[in-house]
Amino acid sequence: MTEVLLKELTKIDIDWMIDTGHQREIAAGTILIEEGKVANFLYILLNGILKVTISQSDSNPLARAFAAIEGNEILGREIARLSSGEVVGEIPFVDTRLTATTIQAVEKSLVMSIPQQKLAAKLQQDIGFASRFYRAIAIMLSDRIQNIINQLSRSNLAQGQPLRDVLFVLGELHDSDIDWMMSCGTQEKIPVNTTLIHERGTVDALYILLDGAMSLSIAENERNPLARAFAAIEGGEVSAREIARLAKGEIIGETPFIDGRLPSATVKAIEDSLVLSISRQQMAAKLQQDVGFASRFYRAITILLSQRLQATLSQLGYGKRVYSQGLSLAENLEYEDELNDSVLDSVAIAGKKFNWMLEKLTVS
């Protein structure tokens, strides 16, 4: 991950981080971020290894049994390891919820800590830095999601969960951004059983699903990625497992705009659908020429990926849910999946924007 920061940030950005941050050596076992607590710093791992764990309820006998069989601690299941260049503590800048995981040093490590308040001010004041920062975080979140998808390919736990992509994305974009997307976009009808995106294939556009439904699936076999791609394009049979259902309002094909990587899943229409298609060339040019739009777009994608990561963790059965354990909800408590009032307001506004977009496109 070291190359992500070096590639996405400028020397001036890195110099600011060095001047603002503080380097410190931490011992093995040190907890940097605790699940359910507020993270006051953004941490960059300069050297060493961190592990990411998420709690599991010990009140469920079946959960305890599986934890014992797998050799995991009941209250802290490890789901990832982070190496040099990784960034943790980014949640406050992309999500209002408390941290969902615990970050702990596996060995003696060196980290740089940057106070949240100073970073928040920098992101507000320097649009160029914000664009590069959010893009870098989006790449890292995308990698983490991909690692979990790789786990899904060997797991029986994958079941689709509806997402709220457009509400998080439109909530971050200006009206002028949405106007541009509508003016440059083209409405396309996608017949049922049509494959919109092939796993490991090229992506020609950014898509917004205006109507209909699509499935997201990953190949189950271990064939060469290039062979899988050509087999799929040529209509050959590729064994795949559905991991999600995409509904009206989903954002599809954003991966190439993050770091140019090929898509890790196949997207196929399961009923007649309608999409707004914005060509990859037009989108790339807009991101290059309009730094304000780029900053808002990459922040929106970062928020989207953060939400997907949380949803994927929940999909795998991780995390605590008080209300799923037979306890009643309380008004004075904030639950893990609960959106606060400010987010609900943003989502409501975004919903109105989406309806307005649909009306405008229908009229045109």
198 within 8 A of 268, measured Cβ to Cβ: no
More confident residue, 142 or 288: 288
The answer to whether residue 59 is domain-embedded is: yes
CA distances 209 to 190, 243, 299, 358, Å, are 10, 18, 20, 11
H-assigned helices in the chain = 2-8, 11-20, 61-70, 91-94, 116-125, 127-152, 165-170, 175-184, 225-233, 256-259, 280-289, 291-315, 341-363
* Residue-range definition of the domain harbouring residue 60: 2-125
pLDDT at 307: 78
Which residue has better confidence, 198 or 244? Answer: 198
Cα separation of 35 and 47, whole Å? 23
Yes or no: say if 350 and 171 are a contact pair by the CB < 8 Å rule.
yes
Token pair 């849910």 in the structure block, residue? 321
Residue 69 lies in a domain: yes
Q: What is the domain count for the chain?
A: 1
Q: What is the pLDDT averaged over residues 28-53?
A: 89
What's this model's pTM, rounded to 2 decimal places? Answer: 0.76
* C-alpha distance from residue 36 to each of 33, 63, 100, 103, 293 (Å): 9, 20, 6, 12, 33
At position 241, the amino acid (one-letter code) is R
Q: Is residue 112 part of a domain?
A: yes
Closest CA to 128 of 302, 303, 285, 294: 294
189 within a domain of the structure (yes/no) = no
Nearest to 286 by CA among 294, 298, 295, 275: 294
* Burial category of 358 from C-beta neighbours within 10 Å (exposed 0-12, middle 13-18, buried 19 and up): middle
Q: How does pLDDT run across 271-283, given as a tens digit for each residue? A: 999 999 999 999 9
Structural domain contains residue 345: no
pLDDT digits 0-9 by tens, 68-95: 555 554 456 787 888 888 888 876 666 6
CATH number of the domain to which 66 belongs: 2.60.120.10
Q: How far apart are CA 274 and CA 272, in angstroms?
A: 7
Taking CA atoms, 104 is separated from 37, 94, 108, 249, 252, in Å, by 14, 21, 11, 37, 34
**Domain assignment present for 103:** yes
Q: Determine, yes or no, domain membership for 308.
A: no
Lowest-pLDDT range of 152-161, 179-188, 192-201: 152-161
Q: Which two tokens stand for residue 336?
A: 């893990």
107 within a domain of the structure (yes/no)? yes
Q: What is the pLDDT of residues 20-29, one digit of tens each?
A: 999 999 999 9
